[in-house]
Copies of this chain bind each other. A is one copy, B any other.
């Protein structure tokens, strides 16, 4: 029997960082991997050809958004999310649980599921674990995230425990409901900032023998050290032979930290959101393109970057486009930022393969913070 999903653990660094490869029906990707976020079936301001050219190997889409518009049945009728968005590589769909609970004043929660108001027409939408899996099966993503209960930071431990219990129960129901062999469901470890709850949640989810696991509910306002402690504990508890996806990580520095904690997959909207706000990400820290220092700067954002934007345009041109409010500015900066994240992860993988990730991370973090404090880029 051919297994549609399999993980190869290629190397373990002394630091705890892992090098691996995850195989899906739409091809394999190397881990640690950065997953750009194409919420509504498009990476904002990019065509799918431009997205592929950044080096992206897997993208994330959002079931919550796509079910509301255009509707999962439309995507299914168009041949599924890959064909719909013209993306041949793997796709991971988030359930939208995080989005639902972010709208907490309009959400009614019970053990069976959640009801919330559509952000498009205000109609009531009911999501259950089974309904979310049905939506994601219609979309046809390679990896589907189940509905989970992501509780707010600072909640009482009893409430956190109940949310984790509900998350486990919903993960079981999700696995029981799934019918597609070509779609993997990754159960999500919750448990807030309580290591005992996190470990118990992880243990119970591991009984489901899923092809991979996720860690949710981190980087929601807690101190960075707390997040790292939780993520490390969860990654150590999870099976070595399965990939670990940490949901919603932020900056390049956060990515390096998550890799150190043992995470394999991470997504974030920051690289594309920062691009739209005129900030380029580089391995030497952020570059704010509006700064006057770039007005006559013939250099690319990063001379070491091989992306289309850096091969083609000067900082002076990019600054002009940002100042003029031209939409092409967002396109060019998004191309660069995604390519930069791809490079950051490629560097990390190389360092893991060579058993020097801890030193690599220290050097990379030093470069990231040295640059962001530099006179050029912090000028008003």
Interface residues of A (CB under 8 A from B): 40-50, 69-70, 74, 77-79, 84-86, 295-296, 298, 308, 312-314, 316-317, 319-321, 323-324, 326-328, 330-332
Chain B residues lying within 8 Å of A42, measured Cβ to Cβ, are 321, 326, 328
Residue A332 contacts which of B47, B69, B326 (CB distance < 8 angstroms)?
A: B47
| A329 closest partner in B (C-beta) | B42
**Contact call A78/B327, Cβ cutoff below 8 A:** no
A-B contact pairs, 8 of them (CB 8 A): A42-B326, A47-B50, A69-B323, A70-B316, A70-B319, A74-B296, A78-B317, A86-B317
**Contact call A330/B327, Cβ cutoff below 8 A:** yes
**Contact call B326/A44, Cβ cutoff below 8 A:** yes
Chain B residues lying within 8 Å of A314, measured Cβ to Cβ, are 78, 84
**Contact call B328/A46, Cβ cutoff below 8 A:** yes
**Contact call B324/A327, Cβ cutoff below 8 A:** no
**Contact call A296/B77, Cβ cutoff below 8 A:** yes
**Contact call B49/A327, Cβ cutoff below 8 A:** no
| A319 closest partner in B (C-beta) | B70
**Contact call A312/B49, Cβ cutoff below 8 A:** yes
Known: A42-B328, A296-B78, A327-B44. A49 touches B308 (CB 8 A): yes
Known: A45-B331, A84-B317, A308-B47. A326 touches B74 (CB 8 A): no
**Contact call B70/A323, Cβ cutoff below 8 A:** yes
Chain B residues lying within 8 Å of A327, measured Cβ to Cβ, are 44-45, 327, 330-331
**Contact call A328/B45, Cβ cutoff below 8 A:** yes
**Contact call B46/A316, Cβ cutoff below 8 A:** no
